[in-house]
Structures are given as structure tokens and as C-alpha cells.
Amino acid sequence: MIKLKDLLDEKVAYYNNPSFIENDPISIPHQFALKQDREIMGFFASILAWGQRKTIINKCNDLKNRFGNEPYRFIKDHSEEDLKAMIGFKHRTFNDVDLLYFVDYFKRFYEEYETLEDAFLQNGSFNSMEETLIKFEVNFFNHPNAPARTRKHVATPMRNSACKRLNMFLRWMVRSDDNGVDFGLWKRIPKSELICPIDVHVDRTARKLGLITRKQTDWKTAVELTDNLRILDKDDPVKYDFALFGLSIDPI
């Protein structure tokens, strides 16, 4: 474990720095200074994060332009006419039907709350990440206009999903350090409770390192991985997402 920690700490130090930002979807919320703009575009960038990173970034920039480069202002103040700008947007299976519902959700949410962090809390407090993600998905679709097709774009542990995209978004919003990649905007969710995002590349690398033993890749697998990372750093286990990602593109 000491040798593994040394290896992973070395990779965290290498990848967790500003040079990482440009070619990663996290570059999208980094284009904004306003907290709500970062929340909105960070959420979209994470939800759309499948496929080649260059394509993801291009699609998010397209979406940013459709928002007139002011996503929070657009969400808050758009008219029915303005919503025509959403028509035709598509990335993989995410299309303009899904986008219009996301915009509608954000408009309703920001009319009541100042920060999206409240969507991941229960009465202003945090209990567990599993409970948080389950209740977020339930509340996100708790509206008669919610399209059935859109549910597949917001994962939940209730469906035993690893919830990679939401966990990545939460890492961006919650984690804080002095390196300038993750934002650390949210203070009511402990970074020690974050769950490591797990995709096919991280999964493969973590298995090679003996950090995963579970056969399938699901919510319990993400928890197993994170529990093992907590042995290396109980206060900030998800910093090792940088290392596992780095090792997946730059193997030992």
C-alpha cells in the first residue's frame, strides 16, 4: 500500500495542475467567474461527458453560445422565443427535448435557491452520498413535464449506476486545494464523502492496481474503489481520480 500510495500521489501531483484544464471538460465551467454560471455549465459538461473529450468540449461550447454566453442570465430570464435557440442541439442520445427540460428544471430551481448545492442537500444538510444522489434524481424529475426519455441522462444508485458523471460534477464543485483545477465552490458537502467517478478507463486501471475486486461495474464498485482510496487519504480520497485517469492514458 505504501508503494501504491507513492505511485498515485506522484500521478496526482503530475495531473492536478492548471495544464490539465484546457483539454478536459472542466475547462467549460472554468470559462466563467459567476458561481451559478459555473454550476450550470459544470453540470452540463459532466452530463455530456461521454465520447472524445474534444467533442464534449465542442458541444459544450455550442451550448454556451446558445445561452448567449450567459447561462445563468438565460436560465433566469429567457422567454419562450429564446428557447428556440435550444432546438437542434444534440450530443449522442442527449437532444433538445432533454435540454429544454434541463433548462426548465434550472429555472424553477434558481427561482427558489441561490446555489445548486441545495439540490444535493436535504433541508440544508448532508447525510450520505448515496442518499444525496437518490434524492437528487427523484427531485430532478418531480414535475409533470419531465420526459420519460430524459431520465437516462441523470443516474441514480437506485438503478445501481456508478453515477460517474454526477460524481465527477460533485468532485468539481466540492473538492478544494491550491492547484486550481477543482473549484471548491460548495462547502456543505465534505470532500471526504465524495465518491470516485468510475468509467471504463478508471475501472480498468483500478482493477490492475487491486483497488477493485467486484466483477461488475456499478454503484457498489464505485463505493469499493473509494473505500480503498480512503485508506490512502481519508480526507480527500477522490483526488486519486487524477491519478487513475492519468494512468489510464499513460500506463505504468
Q: Which pLDDT tens digit goes with each residue over 85-133?
A: 999 999 999 999 999 999 999 999 999 999 999 999 988 999 999 999 9
pTM recorded for the entire structure: 0.97
In this prediction, residue 27 carries a pLDDT of 98
Best CA proximity match to 136, nearest among 151, 144, 92? 151
Query: Which CB contacts under 8 angstroms, 24+ apart, belong to 55-59?
Result: 55/91, 56/25, 56/91, 57/23, 57/25, 57/27, 57/28, 59/91
Q: Does residue 227 lie within any of the structural domains?
A: yes
How far is Cα 59 from Cα 155, in angstroms, rounded to an integer?
Answer: 21
User: Over the chain, what is the mean pLDDT?
Assistant: 96
Q: What's the start-to-end Cα distance of the chain, in Å?
A: 16
Q: CB–CB of 171/238 below 8 Å? A: yes
Asked whether the predicted pLDDT for residue 6 surpasses 60, the reply is: yes
Residue 252 lies in a domain: no
CA 69 – CA 67 distance, rounded (Å):
5
Residue 251 has pLDDT above 70, yes or no: no
Q: How far, in Å, CA of 227 to CA of 233, rounded?
A: 10
pLDDT of residue 252: 57
In total, how many domains does the chain have?
A: 1
pLDDT at 210 over 80: yes
pLDDT band at residue 1 using 50, 70 and 90 as cut-offs = confident
Tell whether 26 is covered by a domain.
Answer: yes
Domain encompassing residue 147: 2-247
- Compute φ and ψ for 91, nearest 5 degrees: -140, 115
- Domain membership of residue 80 (yes or no) is yes
Residue 159 in domain = yes
Whether 88 is covered by a domain: the verdict is: yes
Grid coordinates standing for 69? 454566453
How many C-beta atoms lie closer than 10 Å to residue 192's C-beta? 13
Angstrom distance (rounded) from CA 155 to CA 10: 32
CA distance 74 to 168: 25
3-state secondary structure of 90: strand
Please indicate, yes or no, if residue 210 is contained in any of the structural domains. yes
Residue pointed to by grid coordinates 464505485: 222
The DSSP secondary-structure symbol of 144 reads: T
Contacts 24+ apart (CB under 8 A), 18-21: 18/179, 18/180, 18/181, 20/181, 20/242, 21/180, 21/181
Q: How confident is the model at residue 246 (pLDDT cuts 50, 70, 90)?
A: very high
**Per the domain annotation, does 97 fall within a domain?**
yes
